[in-house]
Amino acid sequence: MCLAIPGQLISIKDHADSLARTGRVNFSGISKDISLAYVPEAKPGDYLIVHAGFALSVLDQEEALASLQAFDDLAAFQQAL
C-alpha cells in the first residue's frame, strides 16, 4: 500500500525547465525538497499531497489539516496500545 502525505509548501526554487521546479515542503516539522513538476499552480503556503518525492496535487487547507489530525490521532492510538 502506498501513502501520500500532506505537507505545506514553504518556498519554491524556480528553474528554466518547469519540470525541474522544486519546493521545500514542511511535513509536521520535517522539511524536504519535493518536485513540483505536476503542480505548476502551487505557491508558498499551499498544502500539497506528496508521494515518493513528487507533489501530486494542491489540497484545500481544511482537508489538509483534517488529514494531519487523523495521522496524529492514529499515532496517539498506537502509543496507547
Per-residue pLDDT of the chain (81 residues; tens, 9 = 90+): 567 889 999 999 988 888 899 999 999 899 999 999 999 999 999 999 999 999 999 999 898 888 888 888 888 888 888
Q: Domain limits at 56?
A: 5-80
- Residue 9 belongs to domain with CATH number: 2.30.30.140
pTM above 0.85, yes or no: no
Residue 14: all three cell numbers together: 524556480
Cα–Cα distance list, 16 to 13, 19, 20, 21 (Å):
10, 9, 8, 8
Residue length of the chain: 81
Taking the CA atoms of 3, 5, 31 and 70 in sequence, report the sign of the dihedral they define. Answer: negative
In a 3-state reduction of DSSP, which class is residue 47? strand
Overall number of domains in the chain: 1
